[in-house]
Amino acid sequence: MNTISCSKVFLVLLVTLLPNQIFADQNLISSACGHTLYKDLCTTTLESDPESSSATSFDVLTKVALKHATSTATEIHDQVTTLLKGSSSNKDALTGCNKNFQDAIERLAAASKSLASKKYFDVYTWVSSAVSSSDTCGEGFKKVGETKSPLADQSTTFAHLGSIVIDITNQLK
For the chain, domain boundaries: 2-170
Residue 37 DSSP one-character state:
S
The CATH number corresponding to 2-170 among 3.90.1150.220, 3.30.1780.10, 3.40.50.300, 1.20.140.40 equals 1.20.140.40
Q: What is the pLDDT along the chain (173 residues), one digit of tens a residue?
A: 455 543 443 433 333 444 434 444 459 999 999 999 999 999 999 999 999 988 999 999 999 999 999 999 999 999 999 999 986 678 889 999 999 999 999 999 999 999 999 999 999 999 999 999 888 888 888 887 777 788 999 999 999 999 999 999 999 96
Please report the pLDDT score of residue 20 as a whole number.
37
Task: Report the number of secondary-structure helices (H) and strands (E) in the chain.
Answer: 7, 0
d(CA 157, CA 78): 16
